[in-house]
Amino acid sequence: MIGAAGFLIALPLIETGAMLGQFIQQWISASEPNLIAHELLDALVSVTPDVWWWMVAANAVIGAPVIEEILYRGFLQQAFRRVGVGPWPAILLTSGIFALMHYSVLPPDSAISAMTALLILAIALGMIRERTGLIAPCIIAHAMFNALNLGLAILIT
């Protein structure tokens, strides 16, 4: 419940950040950013769903959030905290690393928008981890974000 609530609270900020990033991207490049700002989403919407499609989609919506949240909020953010880094610096460092890790799978024409959204998402996930001390709400919020993006990608294509 906490993960879902945290995601719903953060969603307007994530979307606002993405729109601001999209505006900056358009201003810098003078071209329209791709609305599907992740290579995996682009691959999923370009094929007809079959058994493999569902396995990849499940991995994106469930597997990636579990692994990434254990790694980033569970290990990395907590490692920063154990060595004496305060909560906000730990959240910001972990969030920056999380967003940068995704850079390689973002189309160049959408990178600023997607990186902004990912950074805000990661900060929200870090705050959920600090507030609750738990990973499960972070996994749920991250899974909801990925599911929403997959659903939107399917709707707009």
CA dist list (Å): 23 to 26, 107, 111, 154: 5, 16, 12, 23
Can you tell me the distance from the alpha carbon of 44 to that of 97, in angstroms, rounded to the nearest whole number? 26
Can you tell me the distance from the alpha carbon of 85 to that of 138, in angstroms, rounded to the nearest whole number? 20
For the four alpha carbons of 128, 134, 96 and 22, in that order, the dihedral sign comes to negative
Our measurement of the distance from residue 75's CA atom to the centroid of its chain's CA atoms, rounded to an integer in Å, reads 18
In this prediction, residue 29 has a pLDDT band, given cuts at 50, 70 and 90, of confident
In this prediction, residue 153 has a pLDDT band, given cuts at 50, 70 and 90, of very high
What's this model's pTM, rounded to 2 decimal places? 0.92
**According to the model, what pLDDT value does residue 108 have?**
86
